[in-house]
Amino acid sequence: EPEVTQTPSHQVTQMGQEVILRCVPISNHLYFYWYRQILGQKVEFLVSFYNNEISEKSEIFDDQFSVERPDGSNFTLKIRSTKLEDSAMYFCASSVSDRGNYGYTFGSGTRLTVV
């Protein structure tokens, strides 16, 4: 079964440092997403991406965050200057369509710990 691949599985970084989280969506999918889940809390939407541009972003996705699809296969989330409260599990997801009942496939996540 095709899967969404995320790397690294766990990243520890110092406050103020930049991090890049990487994702390889399923190859024929056209819609890409980043979500995060702080420990013990619900899964929260960060950003959706289609046709090389952001479709929608949440209030969490401020100027410190950016996304890119640099080469047609990778989909990255960059956090410019990490804060302690950015510690969370970050999930990438992709979908073949944005309509109907097509579900998203999630990657196994990157656990980001900011110290």
- Report, in Å, the least distance between residue 95 CB and another protein: 10
Query: Nearer to another protein by C-beta: 66 or 108?
Result: 108
Q: Is 25 in the site for another protein (CB under 8 A)?
A: no
Residues 6+ apart with CB under 8 A from 101: none
Q: Is 98 in the site for another protein (CB under 8 A)?
A: yes
- Report, in Å, the least distance between residue 81 CB and another protein: 25
Q: CB of 6 within 8 A of CB of 108? A: yes
Considering only residues 39-68, where is the footprint of another protein by CB under 8 A?
A: 41-45, 48, 50, 55-56, 58
Whether the bond into 8 is cis, omega within 30 of 0: yes
Q: CA 107, 113, 115 angle in degrees (round to 5)?
A: 165
Name the strand (E) or helix (H) holding 29.
none
Applying CB under 8 A, the residues found at the interface with another protein are 33, 35, 41-45, 48, 50, 55-56, 58, 89, 91, 98, 100-101, 103-109, 111
